[in-house]
Amino acid sequence: MNIVVTGADGRMGRMLVAEIAATEGCRLSGATDREGSPAIGQDPGVLAGIGETGLKIVDDPATVIAQADAVIDFTSPAATVNHARLCAQAGAALVAGTTGMSHSDEEALYLAARHVPVIYAANYSAGITLLMNLVQKAAATLGDDYDIEVLEMHHRHKVDAPSGTALALGKAAARGRKVNHDAVKQAVRDGHTGARPKGEIGYATLRGGDVVGEHDVIFAAEGERLILGHKASARRVFAAGAVRAALWTKDKHPGVYDMNDVLGLKDQEAEVVTEAERHV
């Protein structure tokens, strides 16, 4: 599979370049970065510390996406929207990991998904994917007698808050409770806030140092707390998941998918239901 990495000079971009080189069944066929980046014209493999690839980073994504089977994109919302359009035109699958996307930005992904497979996830870690499922089940089981708080910490350079992963965890909790997430979300507390409303899903954001990513979902009730959490110590887990997702798109129909599809969790749930029905 020929894979293009956008934002190849970023932290995730370099990690993706290295992960593709180490993964059987795929090859780096192109790399891009923003116009004016000092990385333009440089070899992405050299920047990633894996040696020369014979490729050069370009600032015209259309030229390399046209030859790709899949594109892995961890850039910015505006860039991802453009890359989604180019993927749809070229027939290349898109693996999108950009956070901070607005509803209108996401609409561009859904439009592209009419033509190509699009995997859209806030986090490509297998552990986080499993955590989201656990959070949804816990929220459904415990009910609104338990207050839900999502605590996250990232490195000082992260520009969006709460993190995309934190919001995805909060949305998983809202699905478990069968409520509208935006109606119960509380991401800012300052001053005299009054008592915490029942059913609210709160967020607390920490930033500092070089923290890759830490997320805890706290279910707090009278007399007990349940804490479900995940800590990432290396970005490689995200890169490995994204490359796995890109390979998974081979022979898939157009549509929007997530890491539950990639990991087979949706299929497993269907099989469990089918097996249970046989015993009714």
Q: What is the pLDDT of residues 65-78, one digit of tens each?
A: 999 999 999 999 99
Question: Quick check: is 242 in a domain?
Answer: no
- Whether 154 sits among the annotated catalytic residues: the reply is yes
Query: Is residue 203 part of an annotated ligand binding site?
Result: no
Contact 33, 57 (CB under 8 A): yes
Query: Is residue 165 part of an annotated ligand binding site?
Result: yes
Query: Which residue of the set 56, 103, 115, 158 is catalytic?
Result: 158
Query: Is residue 11 part of an annotated ligand binding site?
Result: yes
- Whether 103 sits among the annotated catalytic residues: the reply is no
| Pair 102, 209 in one domain | no
Supply the CATH number for residue 73's domain: 3.40.50.720
Query: Is residue 155 part of an annotated ligand binding site?
Result: yes
Question: Quick check: is 277 in a domain?
Answer: no
Query: Which residue of the set 154, 171, 215, 230 is catalytic?
Result: 154
Q: Minimal CA–CA distance to 84: which of 167, 6, 168, 163?
A: 6
Question: Quick check: is 279 in a domain?
Answer: no
Q: If DSSP codes are grouped into helix, strand and coil, which group holds residue 69?
A: coil
Question: Quick check: is 272 in a domain?
Answer: no
Range 188-216 burial, b when 16+ CB lie within 10 A, else e = eeeeeeeeeeeeebbbebeeeeebbbbbb
Question: Quick check: is 276 in a domain?
Answer: no
| Pair 110, 140 in one domain | no
Chain segment 97-153, per-residue pLDDT in tens: 998 899 999 999 999 999 999 999 988 999 999 999 999 999 999 989 999 999 999
Residue 187's domain comprises 126-232
Question: Quick check: is 244 in a domain?
Answer: no
pLDDT bin (cut points 50, 70, 90) of residue 227 is very high
Chain segment 25-75, per-residue pLDDT in tens: 999 999 999 999 999 999 999 999 999 999 999 999 999 999 999 999 999
| Pair 171, 254 in one domain | no
Supply the CATH number for residue 220's domain: 3.30.360.10
What's the structural domain count of the chain? 2
The model's pTM is 0.79
